[in-house]
Structure 1
Amino acid sequence: MKLKYDPLNIVVCGIGGQGNVLAAETLGTALCGRGCRVAVGETYGASQRGGSVMSHVRVSEKWDPGVLIPAGEGHIILGFEPLETLRIARKYAGADTVTVYDPRPVYPLGVLQGIQTYPPLEELQAEIAALSSLTLAVPAADIAMEAGDSRAANIALLGAFSTLSAAPLNGEDLERILTQRFQGKVLELNRAAFAMGREAARKGGAV
């Protein structure tokens, strides 16, 4: 395996309760299994469930990388929610950033109460695309529901991630971690979500 960048900087972002941290830990475990040196760090918003959650995953073949990714040096952004994805892209996207995200909004309480407004989805997606060299919108939440459990959206996004040429992992690497973490029907559900995420990415033109 040869990293496209060393260190390779991956940002995983979304809303608390979406499984962002598990996704980052799964990536880190799989990368360690490939012999890489990996640093994973998380930051949380005002509340773990419903607040902003961001994980930095830094990967190197040569040395132990620092935990925090410098601004403008994110190589891959894995986003679980479009507004959070844009917020992270504005700070961390660079000239070669690849962004894979779920375009389904998760509306904050203030929006649901009519106190705040949520930006038009088309505008969010247009700016994400403008900030990235490649964007891939994968309906991970819908895929998870089709697979049988909404909580598998993070696994569907990992499936999409595994199709990227910039990703230093393949489907087998990540599926191996799934078999270590899950058993029985839960494992089969997550395998289905993972495969469906890969297929959705291929249809979306992942490179």
Structure 2
Amino acid sequence: MKKLKFDPLNIVICGIGGQGNVLASEIVASTMNDLGYRVAVGETYGASQRGGSVMSHVRVSETEDLGVLIPSGEAHIIIGFEPLETLRMARQYAGANTMVIYDPRPVYPLGVLQGNQSYPPIEEIKKELEALTAEAHAVQAADIAMEIGDTRAANVALLGAFSRLEGSPLNTEELAAILAQRFQGRALEINQKAFARGCEAIDGEGGGADE
């Protein structure tokens, strides 16, 4: 068990219903638990069946038993499946040491599609995320998933990118191993491709972690 950069380490995983972020949080939490850390997970749901907000708190420690909720301003990593949801979480939970990794592809709510609400420009979201956090990495996870043939794999693409960040508590080998345990056949092949493409997205920035 390697020493955590922060203890407790606080991770927020957020998006909207149906994007697979709950599965992503479960994979992160169970992998950390298998490696010997103490892990607490808390989840909150909006109208998830109608595309509402879904957020998971994953808290990790080498020695402490933790409460499930991350205090405001104390997230170290935010993984976001939708840009506006990512910004909402960053406004509440980001601090001076926060790294954020997110898919910049918007999922427009019904009110926006009907013309009753507005959605902020992606460039404005990007700039605010960069201002609120120590690092902000945009990864086209939904596009990666569509290119490899299964939109459900966007969450795994983001996990691949997460594994390549300097300071990530889980490296590429550790997360790749859990994928091999969770999936079989074509599902495993699809998710391995998505994971590798997510890794490449961060390595292409010149910010990949050492194995």
TM-score, normalising length: structure 2: 0.96
User: Corresponding residue for 1:35?
Assistant: 36
Instruction: Report the CA distance between 1:167 and its aligned residue.
Output: 1.1
| Matching residue of 1:53 | 54
2:147 is equivalent to residue 164 of structure 1? no
Partner of 1:25 in structure 2? 26
- TM-superposed deviation, 1:49: 4.1
The 2-side partners of 1:189 and 1:17 are apart by 18
Counterparts of 1:103-118 in structure 2, within 5 Å, are 103-118=104-119
Contact 1:8 1:59 in 2 (8 A): yes
- Deviation per CA, 1:29-73: give whole Å up to 9, x if none: 111121111111110113344000000000000111110000000
CA–CA distance in 2 between the matches of 1:107 and 1:168? 32
Quick check: 1:7–1:59 contact (8 Å CA) kept in 2?
yes
1:176 is displaced (CA, Å) by 1.4
* Deviation at residue 16 of structure 1 after TM alignment: 0.6
Per-residue deviation, 1:17: 0.3
Contact map agreement 2:18 2:48 (CA 8 A) in 1: no
SS of the aligned residue for 1:99 comes to strand
2:164 aligned with 1:131, yes or no?
no
The Cα RMSD (Å) is: 1.0
Unpaired runs of 5+ residues, structure 2, are none
- Provide Cα deviations, 1:92-113, integer angstroms capped at 9, x if missing partner: 0000100000000000000001
Opposite residue 156 of structure 1, the aligned amino acid is A
Instruction: State the aligned residue count.
Output: 207
Unaligned runs of 5+ in 1: none
Return the alpha-carbon distance in structure 2 between the equivalents of residues 48 and 98 of structure 1: 29
Does the alignment pair 1:4 with 2:29? Answer: no
The normalised TM-score by structure 1 is 0.97
Cα distance 1:168–1:47, how it changes in 2: closer, same or farther (>3 A)? closer
Offset of residue 172 of structure 1: 1.3
- Give the structure 1 partner of residue 77 of structure 2: 76
The secondary structure found in structure 2 opposite 1:53 is: strand
